[in-house]
Copies of this chain bind each other. A is one copy, B any other.
């Protein structure tokens, strides 16, 4: 039984090491040997836990989903409160640069249809868009969205801006106020103050 526990812990250590490596050199740029060294084992040892390089990537994305689900707390209904929550999430990200780096790098790599994370990001964008559309639609119905603002257009633009600001912020942190820009964007769409 403790054997199983130890194995699970080891797997978590390896995933943590992989996230660090992907952050610095991306998925394609990270070798199994580098990840293994960070986790304190050999690369052959790593392959005992994750049979291929792709299996390790899948585990990294699974953990991100699990963390997102925990942080996003599915019980927030679409609307003003969810917008405030998204801003809080952006504040969290700015304080955890590594998360943003991994996400931005993988998203750009995974643009290629044959990238192992391609399907993951298709789903990721779909979910993000659906959630944003629902929120802006709710705001329109309650009169909190400015007249003539299309909820779907607002959703796509909002998600795009969030992602693009991340890369710009990572490159020139002192020149970009990520959270401030999000507030700016939303303020221009709403009829009510953000907070």
Interface residues of A (CB under 8 A from B): 24-26, 28-29, 101, 104-105, 107-112, 118, 121-122, 125-126, 129, 146, 149-150, 153-154, 156-157, 159-168, 170-172, 175-177, 180-181, 184-185, 188-189
Contacts and interface: CB of A to CB of B under 8 A. Distances in A.
Nearest to A108: B108
A15 B7 CA distance: 48
Contacts of A154: 184
Given A101-B111, A108-B109, A157 B165 contact: yes
A168 B163 CA distance: 9
Contacts of A175: 125-126, 129, 156
B118 A171 contact: yes
A171 B125 contact: yes
A1 to B, nearest CB: 42
A26 B164 CA distance: 18
A18 B190 CA distance: 45
Main secondary structure of the interface of A (DSSP, over half): helix
A168 B166 CA distance: 13
Given A153-B181, A164-B164, 7 more contacts: A122-B171, A153-B177, A153-B184, A156-B176, A157-B184, A160-B161, A161-B185
A171 B109 contact: no
A105 B101 contact: no
A152 to B, nearest CB: 9
Contacts of A149: 188
Contacts of A146: 188
Contact of A163 (B29, B110, B164): B164
A108 B175 CA distance: 17
A165 B168 contact: no
